[in-house]
Amino acid sequence: MITYYDDKSVQVTSTAVRVDGRSYPLAELSMVWHRRGDRSWRVLAGRGAIGAALAGPLVAAVLGIGLAVWLHRSAVVTIAIVGASVLVGLGIGPLADVLFEHLDRSYARGSRELEMWARWRGRPVRLLHTGDALRFGQIYRAMQRAMDSAPAAQRAGQKVIGPFGSSPRPRSRP
């Protein structure tokens, strides 16, 4: 038996897929497909908030430099304002690394709910429901590998995996 994917709730092997304690033998699955749900506005708003947090100090630094030039004060005051503005802009550096990491993770998880469905014993059954696009893609590819490697006698020409039951094709994302 070959294990293609294994985590706390999903296991895909060369003989079966197990999801949340339920087991579905590959020999009994005739078709596997996926569905994408609507975008999550909460995730999109979170990304916008991270963008605003990244841009805020930089905008403040630019406005400070503009203010220093506009005030036409003495050279010492202008240099002090510009220096403070540059320090505010540079201060975003360490914070930006943390914010970019959160933004990167947000895109890896995705902004849609994803479902994997299969035809099991002649009826459709939802195998998986998750909002984590990275994990979903790993599980979906594991299912493709498992079903492609199933013996020809077991497949009997009826195994199909792909979006809405179409044949599989290379994809850049799940």
> What does the pLDDT read at residue 154?
52
Report d(CA 136, CA 139) in Å as an integer: 5
Six-digit token pair at 127?
């195998």
| Phi/psi at 150 (5° precision) | -65, 145
One pLDDT digit (tens) per residue for the chain, 174 residues = 899 999 999 999 989 999 998 999 998 888 888 888 777 777 778 878 888 877 777 777 778 778 877 887 888 887 888 788 778 777 777 777 788 888 777 777 777 888 999 999 889 999 998 888 889 999 999 999 998 887 644 545 444 555 544 444 444 455
Distances from the Cα of 32 to the Cα of 12, 15, 124, 150, angstroms: 13, 15, 9, 14
- Residue 151 CB partners (closer than 8 Å, separation 6+): none
